[in-house]
Amino acid sequence: MYQFKDLAKSDKIRKYPIGIGPYKVKKIVPGEAVQLVKFDDYWQGKPALDKINLKVIDQAQIIKVMEKGDIDVANDATGAMAKDAKSSNAGLKVLSAPSLDYGLIGFVSHDYDKKANKTGKVRPNMKTKNYVKQCFMQLIEKNGSKLFQWLR
């Protein structure tokens, strides 16, 4: 029996994982690819595809590789990649869905005392009531259409 804390170090688990639902792992090339094959005894029936090849591809090359027909699907495309795909002559389609990502904006409101290893005094500009509001007003594009796009 494995202890969860030991899984990351387990050579057996890393080289011979059990599987992914209706597919089982056939081959792993670390840092390059994973080949999945259908698991005929899957409890919800046979999967639609015989195999799935997952490849690690440099993001800068994804559109070119798709245009050549070397891959069928790419995920986590950046906005620039989606724009390139839409303008491609290879008939690529861009599908989108609501993101499950979230963002966090934080402000350093206190000085930090390294020697004492604790937060110190409130920074003077943070005492101003409108400071945080002013920061956000400068950060956010007024109609909100490009909020956080620079993070993606």
Interval 53-96: pLDDT, tens: 999 998 888 888 988 989 888 887 777 888 888 888 888 888 87
In the chain, CATH 3.40.190.10 covers 4-86
CA 21 to chain CA centroid, Å, is: 21
What CATH number belongs to 4-86? 3.40.190.10
Q: For residue range 106-133, list pLDDT tens digits in order.
A: 777 778 888 888 887 877 766 666 767 7
- Tell me if the pTM is above 0.85: no
Pairwise pLDDT comparison (55 vs 19), residue with the higher score: 55
| CA–CA distance, 3 with 38 (Å, rounded to integer) | 28
| CA–CA distance, 119 with 114 (Å, rounded to integer) | 8
pLDDT of residue 32: 92
Pairwise pLDDT comparison (35 vs 136), residue with the higher score: 35
